Amino acid sequence: MTFSNPDTLTWLCGQSLAHRQEYLDFVYNTSIKYHPLKKLLNLFSLNKSKIMTRIVTGNLIYKTAYNYNPNERVTIKYLGKAFQIGIDEINNDFVENMLLSIGIKKANIIATGGYGSSNHDVVEIFFAYEGTLPQRTVDLWIENQHHAFASYAIVDGLIVPAYMYIKPGLETAINKIVNNYEIKSFLVKPFVIPSVPVSILARNPLNGVLADMRNIPMSYQHVIAFKKLNWERIWYMDAGGRQKMEVRPKNGWVI
């Protein structure tokens, strides 16, 4: 394969991401060690990664007045597959194996958390992986002998409800996610992490759905920034410590 067009840069800019990557592979797999477009091609590769790499997170907390029997069987359903397991056997490894069984590569799994207890009558699940979904949200079900309850997974979102038992390591995972992926919906209840909205805003994500900062003191300072990016629903804490919410007007934000 050769490219003799003298205006290669113009040609390259007009190509699809696939063709850019093909040319990148050509450059790096030949002996042209100091190709004049090598740095530019590397930027194209990075941009491709940024464009193509998306994140999915899933969350579930199930706790009711229902009293489980020791290691009672429950069923977790996600993306058309059902996984039966004793409640007391739900752990991080179960969640990881669940993701692997639906085709998520181990290298793409960012975080998994799982906890089930018949003593506490509770199930907690969290996961994050690089990928996408058929639509913005997909149900994540738990079923037992008497109940069925659905939480959800979301693409380009970070929804972390008020977990009690899978918190170790979770804050580290949250920071990794907001520092490396574009997020368009977020809520973090177990921790107060002021850097979360700052890191999300650093990527200038347009047309977000939910910015939930209500547990972060002084988070009113970020409201204008999210409005400029046309986010739909914004929760924040005002200067007096009160939790407030604003919804984007039909005709858009007036700033």
The per-residue pLDDT for range 32-63, each reduced to its tens digit, is 444 444 444 444 444 444 455 999 999 999 99
Tens of pLDDT, residue by residue over 124-178, are 999 999 999 999 999 999 999 989 999 999 999 999 999 999 999 999 999 999 9
Indicate whether 124 and 137 sit together in one domain: yes
Domain boundary residue among 156, 176, 200? 156
Q: Are residues 127 and 36 in the same domain?
A: no
Domain boundary among 122, 156, 190: 156
Whether residue 63 is found in the same domain as residue 149: yes
Residue where a domain stops, chosen among 101, 133, 156 = 156
In terms of domains, do 37 and 16 share one? yes
Residue 40 in any domain: the answer is yes
Are 42 and 60 part of one and the same domain?
no
CA distance 129 to 108: 5
Spatial CB neighbours of 133, under 8 Å, sequence gap ≥ 6: 56, 79, 153, 154, 155
- The Cα-based distances of 48 to 23, 53, 64 in angstroms read 13, 8, 45
Asked if the structure places residue 172 within a domain, the reply is: no
Asked if 16 and 77 sit in the same domain, the reply is: no
Q: Which domain, by its residues, includes 19? A: 8-51
Considering the domain boundaries, does residue 184 fall inside one? no
Residue 243 has pLDDT above 50, yes or no: yes
Q: Are residues 131 and 72 in the same domain?
A: yes
Name the pLDDT band for 199 (thresholds 50, 70, 90).
Answer: very high
22 and 65 assigned to the same domain: no
- Is residue 59 domain-resident? yes
Q: Are residues 58 and 141 in the same domain?
A: yes
pLDDT at 43: 46
> What confidence tens digit (pLDDT) does each residue in 203-233 have?
999 999 999 999 999 999 999 999 999 999 9
Total domains, the chain:
2
- State how far Cα 137 lies from the chain centre: 11
- Position 141 in a domain: yes
Residue 255: per-residue pLDDT: 87
Where residue 151 sits, what CATH number does that domain have?
A: 2.60.40
Regarding whether 67 and 147 lie in a shared domain, the answer is yes
21: confidence class by pLDDT, cuts 50, 70, 90: low
Q: Which residue, among 132, 63, 65, 57, has the nearest Cα to 95 in the 3D structure?
A: 57
Could you give the strand order of the β-sheet that contains 243-247, starting from the edge strand earlier in sequence? 157-160, 185-188, 210-212, 233-237, 243-247
Confirm whether 183 is domain-assigned. no
Cβ density class 213-251: b for 16+ within 10 Å, e for less: bbbbeebbbbbebbbebebbebbbbeeeeeeeebebeee
Give the confidence band of 20 by pLDDT, cuts at 50, 70, 90: low
Residue 234 lies inside a defined structural domain of this protein: no
Query: Which residues, in sequence order, are bridge partners of residue 247?
Result: 233
The strands making up 137-143's β-sheet, listed across from edge to edge, are: 81-86, 73-78, 137-143, 148-155, 55-63, 122-130, 109-117
Q: Looking at the domain assignment, is residue 57 inside a domain?
A: yes
pLDDT (0 to 100) of residue 66: 81
